Amino acid sequence: MRIPGRAFLVLLLLLSHTIIAQPRRWADSTLASLSLEERVGQLFVVELAAVFTHEDDQAYQYALEMIHRYHVGSFILGGGNVLDVPIITNRLQKESKVPLLINGDMEAGMTYGTSWRLSRGWTERLPRYIPGGGTRFVSQMAIGATRNPEYAYEFGRITGRESRAVGIRWSNSPVADVNSNPDNPIINTRSFGEDPAMVAEMVAAYVRGAQGGGIIATLKHFPGHGETRDDSHMKLPILPFDRKRLDSVEFVPFRAGIAAGAGAVMTSHLSLPRIDSSGRPATLSGPVLTGLLRNALGFEGIVVTDGMRMQGVTDQFGSADASVMAIEAGVDAILGIEDIDRGYKGVLEAVRSGRITEERINRSVRRILAAKARVGLDRGWTVNIDSLFTTVGAPESQRISQTISDASVTLLRNSRNLLPLSPATRLHLVVVTEEPAQDLGTELLEEIRPFVASVALTRVSNETGPERFAEITRATSPDGILLVGVYLSVVAWKGERHFAKPLEEFLQSLGRSPVPVILVAFGDPYVLGKLPETTVVLTPYNGTYLAERSTARAVTGRIAVRGRLPVTIPGRGRLGEGIRLDPASR
């Protein structure tokens, strides 16, 4: 039967209204069924170690207590693997009155898993490396170096699809910070770059991909953490920015992500005294969260705190006060509270005393319930474990991830046209790390080995003594080439990055090396500006096995090198620079 055009349009509008109205009805009816204690519990996101245990184990009993005693609305994963996560969360979903929203830090993709690497004595029919979990991706800065928002979209899409398959429907990604400070100790390669417009384009693409894949994307860390010189895990950073500066830099990616439909925004524990003279962290600041995020930027989704165990909050406020002040400022979800008992009871007491109204609590709970319905939790709470085998870590997804990695490699210097390397090259690889590492460099070695005459691998760290560095110099053939890979990256609670004196002296000596030196920044690219100029300088912006493969392929001429700096590296390269290198004919 043929439906007339006007009737079809009316039918389509009615259907659209029904699709939109159903989650709202579910959220409203669920809210009405909850006691005050249950509604307050929905505001808390607590840690979950989703590792298989017996049901009487302390970890599982802790999770049950969070559900039955505190009525928590969400869990943030702090461990597990691709099978443990759905097994544990499926079981916990059956214990909860309201479906649980499982949250995870997916900045590198759905990477929960235990990797496997081929070792001596195993059949050659086995692959050399299996990730063991979902599809891993390179750093956001590496994706920024490709200048291709389609890659950011694919990053989000694959991450969303795989995360949802294991039961994670809320990701704390993407990082929307503009990394404008080369000495930033906590954002760095987690950002797409320093150009607000480019970062905005990447952020919006990621949000569309991730939410199209069926999860909630979270823009972080509002109002912008890219200029800080302090790690908010360890102290409260203070930024002297006014509204004009925020509008022109920090807010650009957040506006784009909000326009793309991001379901959540994460706050940051930093102070903006020119916006809020009280000096409170943004997480606890009404002028920042309500005045700027809600009113000025028009965000209507979930406002979630950064981890409330971080010293940017705990140095000044206890769990009860911080929880109450966060809600008063405009927060909907309190993540990783230091003391759940004090935080939960503090909010309850604030409502009962009239400091916080029930309507204020209801607004936040309604947003959380609407988000749960948005990702289908109003229709089904558990996931089908059998579907993991057809969804998670698919070869096509891993191929896309490797393609993105290959496109990110950025060449900043190629003196004497040393690259691509000749098949007659005698190469000595030196892996440089802060802490001893036994696996880094393995993929680099194996990917280079078939394409050069000889290759050796040495690993050094801050614990390496000066005599070992002398051995490296003696072991490098006079007609050989030295490839030095510096694995330096930002990590929470780490503070200042540094090298011990013997290692620092070795790195500084590279500029005087009698043999050609290829210097590779596997991780923090800004380190290149603090080291001497060598024959070749390049960076893939991360130290994953993906980056090691891409670097090996780049130096041996098997891929085109097209990456461009998404940041300025003082003393080494400006934003947008990068030497193009075509593949070699072999």
- What digits encode the pLDDT tens for the residues 500-512? 899 999 999 999 9
Band (pLDDT 50/70/90 cuts) for residue 245 is very high
The percent of residues in the chain predicted with pLDDT above 90, rounded, is 81
236: confidence class by pLDDT, cuts 50, 70, 90:
confident
Residue 178 pLDDT > 80:
yes
Q: Mind telling me the catalytic residues?
A: 233, 306
CATH number of 409-555: 3.40.50.1700
DSSP β-ladder status, 410-414 and 536-539 = antiparallel
Q: Which of 211-220, 310-319, 512-521 has the lowest mean pLDDT?
A: 310-319
Q: How far apart are CA 533 and CA 413, in angstroms?
A: 9
Residues 80, 84, 90, 94, Cα dihedral to 10°: -80
pLDDT for the residue numbered 393:
94
How far, in Å, are 29, 49, 83, 244, 564 from residue 46 at the CA level? 25, 10, 21, 36, 40
Confidence of residue 17 (pLDDT cuts 50, 70, 90): very low
The larger pLDDT score, comparing residue 343 to residue 24, is at 343
544-565: average pLDDT: 97
Rounded CA separation 24/30 (Å):
10
pLDDT at 321 > cutoff 70: yes
Kindly tell me if the per-residue pLDDT of 386 is higher than 70.
yes
How many CA within 13 A on the CB side of residue 71? 16
Identify the CATH class of 34-115+126-391.
alpha beta
- Express each pLDDT in 35-50 by its tens digit: 999 999 999 999 999 9
Cβ-in-10-Å burial (0-12, 13-18, 19+) of 105 comes to middle
Position 493 scores a pLDDT of 44
Residue 10 confidence class, pLDDT cut points 50, 70, 90: low
Across 377-402, average pLDDT? 95
Which has the closest alpha carbon to 343: 312, 370, 307, 301? 307
511 near 492, Cβ under 8 Å? Answer: no
Enumerate the β-bridge partners of residue 101.
74
Contact criterion met (CB below 8 Å) for 399 and 73: no
**Where do the structural domains in the chain lie, given as residue ranges?**
34-115+126-391, 409-555
User: Is the separation of the CB atoms in 104 and 370 below 8 Å?
Assistant: no
The yes-or-no verdict on residue 469 having pLDDT over 60 is yes
Cβ atoms of 413 and 533 within 8 Å: the answer is: yes
Q: Provide the pLDDT for residue 586.
A: 55
Q: Tell me the residue ranges of DSSP E strands in 443-575.
A: 454-460, 481-488, 517-523, 536-539
Whole-angstrom distance, CA of residue 408 vs CA of residue 522: 12
Given this model, what pLDDT does residue 117 score?
A: 76
Q: pTM for the complete prediction?
A: 0.93
Cβ distance 108 to 523 under 8 Å?
no
Mean pLDDT of all residues belonging to the chain: 92
Secondary structure (3-state) at 177: coil
